[in-house]
Chain A
């Protein structure tokens, strides 16, 4: 077990390295391949009024003329040890982990990302509880009442849920509950849970519901399919033959087996969301990581986008790692070797 976890962690570190190479490649190598000169890259760091000489100086100072390997080394060094950005007028220090230095805000990306992380975590955590409970419960009941009105209606809604984009359901929710009925927050505000848990939940309620609806639909379908399969297994008949009450048969014997793939998907979904719920945060104007990424893209603020890419990849790798370990815990047949 321990060896298994260590091996998976080594693999995760290796993956992180690959991610850093790819990210670096996308942001530094690809523009060059596309014909951008070091000066073009440097021009992003200076104001629009800068003349050619100033741009050349900056490119020199930021090391854009160095070989790519050297640049990559500097990039990694920034991640682990921090680095200094010399703009000419002043040398800015970007402490480790240095994910880059925002062109637009003239501040390091990392602290800004960390500031926004609680928003994204709050959004993902609340929504995931909703969709997990709602989706799995709906799926179980649908499977047990296969072919009934409940099954058909809930699966119809689920089909809608997986098909409708969040900027549609989100806006509908906002229009009804915030604008018309005025019982929910209009979006755009976030209160840390440490400050006031009530307001925290109030601000996030509609985003949670919108996001959970999108995911719950998929989980309901997954759970229903899993339960339909599991409830026909021989061991379910054995459980009934023992004289167990039907509730125990369904929840302990049936759902337990159907749960393994759900947990797997759940881990990956959560990891993906933590890297930024781009559409949800944009729809509800929540200052989370996804919104940060969108702003970065709009302003062509590449270090921001790169920072989000790295942190998103980090979360996905971590989620994968946890899912792998959890999988072995959930299913004793999975060999650790």
Chain B
């Protein structure tokens, strides 16, 4: 650590694996646009190592939307920050592979990942008020994002910023471009954030809880906007949320995460029509629904998410799982692996496939 904090040329991330760059170059590039293989993220703390993400794999194609769902601390945000390379300057240790368009990111230099950031992959955040710099105009912040990756004049970049604001539905973009973030409403700010993220036409857009801080009426607008822009730009989109309602709106595929691991990974249709993991059942049961009688109680998941320092042995969900007894003793000792039961439908659960289907049909679905 000499000049590294101010300079941007720094040898890349502390990796958990000892695989060197040469060995990484030998790795087989995947056919998917984005492929995450066995991602592990650990944070050493004084209390012990926090296993934020532990062996996560998924893939995503251009033009498709993946919803990552889970409770707070399930590792969904850490996953997105790892893809973006934004875990640097924290003490995170990483393992596994992240492939973006044939390029492995974890083994790349931080300078290379910085070049990709904003241009090839962009991110929008939960709270647009704190995520935008309060002392620069909205236009300035979009222009800055655009000019860092495109050699254009200031006036051309300004025209581009106005055009981006217009595309995300900001009225009178030519005058609003000189406003400060605090002069925008919450929904407008998130629109401006999206304009900023899309200004360089990224192939991958990661939206981390994009609607959580917004009014309900605005949430649907923002989700519509993301969906429309995705079709227009043909980007791959990851939407991270704790709200199944959000992913039901926009996602093609859904990855349910629990305690840093994948619990269930399937198409959105499958997740809602025949979910297989007891945790997914719990999420569905916790969702308020308008078509139910109000006297029916929600079915919350008992207990709290586990500590990521001392993850329960076996299936991390078993202490909270109502069906752990039926899964046999292995559920308390062995970590369940993701197993594909139907085409493209993977579940990590010790319950036999038939039993899960049975439970869903007879015990869970009627109560929802």
Q: Which residues of A contact B (CB under 8 A)?
A: 141, 144-145, 148, 233-235, 237-248, 250, 253, 256-257, 330-333
Contact = CB atoms under 8 A, between A and B. Distances in A.
Given A241-B197, A243-B116, A243-B149, 12 more contacts: A144-B5, A144-B6, A233-B130, A234-B127, A235-B134, A238-B125, A238-B133, A242-B122, A245-B148, A256-B135, A256-B136, A257-B133
Nearest to A238: B131
B324 interface: no
A145 B3 CA distance: 10
Contacts of B7: 246-247
B282 to A, nearest CB: 30
A247 B10 CA distance: 13
Contact of B86 (A241, A332, A333): A241
A239 B127 CA distance: 14
Contacts of B133: 235, 238-239, 253, 256-257
Contact of B122 (A237, A241, A333): A241
A243 B146 CA distance: 10
A257 B135 contact: yes
Contacts of B182: 332-333
B84 A241 contact: yes
Interface of B: 1, 5-8, 84, 86, 114-119, 122-123, 125, 127, 130-136, 144-145, 148-149, 180, 182, 193, 196-197
Contacts of B122: 241-242
Contacts of B116: 243
Central interface residue in B8, B127, B149, B196, by most chain A CB within 10 Å: B8
A233 B132 CA distance: 10
Contact of A234 (B117, B130, B136, B145): B130
Contacts of A245: 8, 114, 148
Central interface residue in A233, A245, A257, by most chain B CB within 10 Å: A245
11 contacts: A237-B131, A238-B133, A238-B196, A241-B197, A242-B148, A243-B117, A243-B148, A244-B118, A245-B114, A247-B7, A333-B134
Nearest to A332: B180
A250 B196 CA distance: 20
Contact of A240 (B1, B117, B180): B117
Contacts of B132: 235, 238
A233 B117 CA distance: 19
Contacts of A238: 125, 131-133, 193, 196
Contacts of A148: 1
Given A243-B119, A243-B148, A246-B7, A234 B135 contact: no
Interface of A, helix, strand, loop or mixed by DSSP: helix
A246 B115 contact: no
B131 A243 contact: no
A241 B118 contact: yes
A223 to B, nearest CB: 15
A244 B133 CA distance: 14
A102 B153 CA distance: 64
Contacts of B130: 233-235
Contacts of B136: 256
Nearest to A251: B6
A330 B135 CA distance: 8
Nearest to B180: A332
A240 B86 CA distance: 7
Nearest to A143: B5
A248 B148 CA distance: 10
Contacts of A253: 133
Contact of A331 (B1, B125, B135): B135
A325 to B, nearest CB: 16
B86 to A, nearest CB: 6
A117 to B, nearest CB: 35
Contacts of A239: 133
A242 B5 contact: no
Nearest to A235: B133
A234 B119 CA distance: 20
Contacts of B148: 242-245, 248
A332 B139 CA distance: 14
Contacts of A240: 86, 117
Contact of B115 (A243, A247, A256, A333): A243
Contacts of A243: 114-119, 145, 148-149
A269 B144 CA distance: 35
A144 B89 CA distance: 10
Contact of B131 (A234, A246, A333): A234
A239 B118 CA distance: 9
